[in-house]
Amino acid sequence: MCLAVPGQVVAIDRDTATATIALGEVKKEVSLALVEDVAVDDFVLIHVGYALNKISPEEAERTLALFAEAGLDPEGQA
């Protein structure tokens, strides 16, 4: 199933174009190669190790609520 998970950017390494993303309690390294203008505190949708696009905090909240309602673990889908 083609699920992408919202996470919040907590750190960025510009040299390697990667970011540390907070997914609930878990932190994950993802590539920023496919997105532009990402800053710390932004929300992004992530899929198999890549940030796909920026989303608003409201959209992130709505999507996480949807995952919770479906009983999906966002960490397991990222």
Choose which of 53, 56, 57, 61 interacts with another protein (CB under 8 A).
53
15 near another protein (CB under 8 A):
no
| Residue 57 lies near another protein (rule: CB under 8 A) | no
Using rule CB under 8 A, residue 36 touches another protein: yes
Among 34, 40, 57, 61, binds another protein (CB under 8 A): 34
Burial class (CB in 10 A: 0-12, 13-18, 19+), 7: buried
Short-list 38, 39, 52, 69, CA closest to 6: 52
Q: Which of 8, 12, 18, 47 binds another protein (CB under 8 A)?
A: 47
Report yes or no: 46 and 30 within 8 Å, Cβ to Cβ: yes
